[in-house]
Amino acid sequence: MVATMSQGKLVLYIASSLDGYIATEKHNLDWLFAAEGEGDNGFAKFYDMVDTVLLGRVTYEWILRHETGVFPYQGKECYVFSRTKRENNAFVTFVHEEVVPFVENLKNKDGRTIWLVSGGELLRTFLDANLVDELIVTVAPVLLGRGIPLFRTHDFQTRLSLESINRYGQFVELHYHVLSE
């Protein structure tokens, strides 16, 4: 029997307020940590499947400001998309080339699970190019009214198929597969 290669998948795994914001206008996430969850809300199970992490520059800089001590994605291939030239470091490789061909190349490697940590602009680019395979959105029990939206305005529709629903205390995790057009 000949083994077949399977294409990698790109997964958005993110938390959102019920009204669709991933942070306040000032990039604050206190609202997320104020709700009662259950354990790590399923994060470890997901994270164990991931071998590649994609971040936008703004998200990367937020992580550096708010995580103390250890870079949280050590042991994973981490790429940060930035229009500004930066030097790679021990934890991340900065990507200054075109986003779509770069991600297509990553997905063509055998069996990878690629985690898109960022939302907003980078997510819109990936959705526009049909690069997202799954969306796992954990909804927090809060209405922010305004802030940084999970989904930016775009000119197309993306059809989804609900894979599963999990409850972690006050959080609800919605897992969708993106349907091919």
Residue 136's pLDDT band (cuts 50, 70, 90) = very high
Q: Which residue has the higher pLDDT, 111 or 20?
A: 20
Structure tokens at 43: 């994060």
Return the CATH fold of 9-97+112-150+170-178: Dihydrofolate Reductase, subunit A (3.40.430)
**Element (DSSP H or E) covering residue 103:** helix 99-107
pLDDT at 118 over 50: yes
The contacts of residue 6 (CB under 8 Å, 6+ apart) are 110, 111
Question: pLDDT tens for residues 73-90?
Answer: 999 999 999 988 889 999
Distance CA 143, CA 59 (A): 22
Q: What is the pLDDT of residue 177?
A: 97
Mean pLDDT across 24-29: 89
Distance CA 29, CA 82 (A): 23
CB 37 within 8 A of CB 169: yes
pLDDT at 110 over 80: no
The contacts of residue 89 (CB under 8 Å, 6+ apart) are none
pLDDT at 106 over 50: yes
- Domain range summary for the chain, segments of one domain joined by +: 9-97+112-150+170-178
Q: What is the pLDDT of residue 181?
A: 66
Q: What is the pLDDT of residue 94?
A: 95
What is the DSSP-derived secondary structure letter of residue 62?
Answer: H
Question: pLDDT tens for residues 121-135?
Answer: 888 889 989 999 999
Residue 1's pLDDT band (cuts 50, 70, 90) = very low
Q: What is the pLDDT of residue 162?
A: 97
Q: What is the pLDDT of residue 2?
A: 41
